[in-house]
Amino acid sequence: MFTKNALLYVCHMRFLNHIIWRVQRRALKIGRWIFKNIHPAFNGDWFLARRMDALIREQGIQTAVETGTYLGQTTRWLARRIPSVHTIEIQEKFATKARQSFRKFSNIQLHIDNSPNALRELIPKITSPVLFFLDAHWYDYWPILDEIQEIRKSGIRKCIIVIHDFFVPHSDFGFDSYLGQPLDLAYVTPALDEAFGKQQWKYWYNTRATGWNRGVIFIEPLPLENQGEEKAAHKE
């Protein structure tokens, strides 16, 4: 037979366990919300998010075009800051999952296609200044050069091109490589020269990274009236 003190102890322990259970459930919900809404944008790179936020404000970006939607975390981040967002995903399974997370966003348009085809269709319809976030390079076909060519064909110069998973010299940032070819400045320079003219674009790299610790290059075409200006590399 339980004594009064024993009964009180049991009641207290049950109450404490209930409180712990509720706190754990709440923490799990908060963790899921953070994972879904905050952390995964730009693969968890807070420095890149801060730099992109500044670029959007400084350049008055009206449209974002993202290649490589995946699950849409970066897309949603962009949609909270930019009036119109187009995102391109070639894999139906990822597009289906991403579309579900876009239900509360009226300013996101999801295109299921390879990125050069989708760019060819949508670029003539978009409003500049434009932010191009190029991140579609997970499969056998590496579309980055064709993506730059589609931007060239559009004639758009009021834009910022951001390429993720890029080789950054003198850093330990991760980068992509295909068949021994790194995603680096030497690889994209001919396409950029053809798109905007030699020495008619400037670039800079990220200098810090968090999350997956990936390299990034930022590219900006120079205004046509500055045709004599030298290309310059800038740091953050």
Q: Which helix (H) or strand (E) holds 15?
A: helix 4-37
The answer on 105 and 25 residing in a single domain is no
Does 108 lie in the same domain as 29?
Answer: no
Q: What is the pLDDT of residue 229?
A: 46
The answer to pTM > 0.85 is no
Q: Do residues 26 and 54 share a domain? A: no
Q: Where are the beta strands (DSSP E) in the chain?
A: 63-67, 84-89, 108-112, 130-134, 159-164, 177-178, 181-182, 201-205, 216-221, 233-235
Regarding whether 133 and 51 lie in a shared domain, the answer is: yes
Does residue 161 have a pLDDT over 70?
yes
Mean pLDDT on 16-43: 68
Q: What is the mean pLDDT of the chain?
A: 87
Domain housing 19:
1-37
Same domain, 129 and 153: yes
User: In this structure, are 33 and 144 located in the same domain?
Assistant: no
Number of structural domains (the chain) is 2
Q: pLDDT (tens digit, 9 = 90+) per residue, 106-154?
A: 999 999 999 999 999 999 999 999 999 999 876 678 899 999 999 999 9
CATH number of the domain that residue 212 is part of: 3.40.50.150
Q: Are residues 20 and 50 in the same domain?
A: no
27 shares its domain with 71: no
